[in-house]
């Protein structure tokens, strides 16, 4: 049985919907919960798999300026804290768990460089956190969404695959 935590930064709700779908896939092999980055713990005792998700802002993880810009562009309830800032506060004992990263990106930037998931992966790697697989992107229509059809189903499948990879690595 795997205990998973999905920490998500979301501004229009699309990344949070993907996080919920991933957690549904993770629950096929154990406990999984989703927390917004503003409420995420920095002590990860008892967590086997940490899944980190964020929207791609300016081809990377958000910064205070890009979060402020999201509000100007009509974001609903944006996260006050970014994934980058939260990851800097994770306690050292987290190095024993497996980590996977995902992001949401607008369809019109497919193929362009830059990804919040890749940036989160780099931050995790530099902190010594063990990674389970390559970063994964899920797509939204335009800047604010909605999600591209089928992305929630793909996210749930990805969650099931993450659990399989973690069980094999444990």
pLDDT at 95: 60
Q: What is the pTM of this model?
A: 0.91
Residues whose CB falls within 8 Å of the CB of residue 92, separated by 6 or more in sequence, listed in order: none
Please report which confidence band the pLDDT of residue 38 belongs to, taking 50, 70 and 90 as the band edges: very high
Rg (CA), the chain: 15
Structure tokens, 72: 């100007």
Contact status, residue 47 vs residue 70, Cβ threshold 8 Å = no
User: Looking at the predicted structure, is the pLDDT value of residue 17 above 60?
Assistant: yes
Highest mean pLDDT (candidates 57-66, 93-102, 115-124):
115-124
């Amino acid at each position: 049985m795997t205990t998973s935590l999905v920490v998500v930064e979301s501004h229009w709700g699309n990344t949070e919907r993907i996080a919920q779908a991933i957690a549904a896939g993770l629950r096929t092999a154990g406990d999984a919960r989703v927390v917004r980055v503003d409420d995420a713990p920095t002590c990860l005792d008892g967590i086997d798999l940490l899944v980190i998700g964020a929207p791609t802002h300016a081809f990377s993880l958000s910064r205070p300026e890009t979060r402020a810009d999201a509000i100007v562009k009509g974001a609903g309830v944006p996260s006050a804290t970014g994934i980058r800032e939260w990851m800097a506060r994770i306690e050292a004992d987290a190095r024993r768990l497996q980590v996977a990263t995902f992001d949401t990106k607008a369809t019109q930037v497919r193929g362009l460089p830059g990804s919040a998931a890749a940036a989160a992966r780099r931050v995790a790697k530099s902190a010594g956190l063990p990674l389970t697989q390559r970063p994964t992107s899920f797509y939204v229509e335009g800047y604010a969404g909605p999600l591209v059809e089928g992305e929630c189903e793909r996210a749930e499948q990805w969650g099931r695959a993450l659990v399989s990879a973690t069980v094999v690595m444990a």
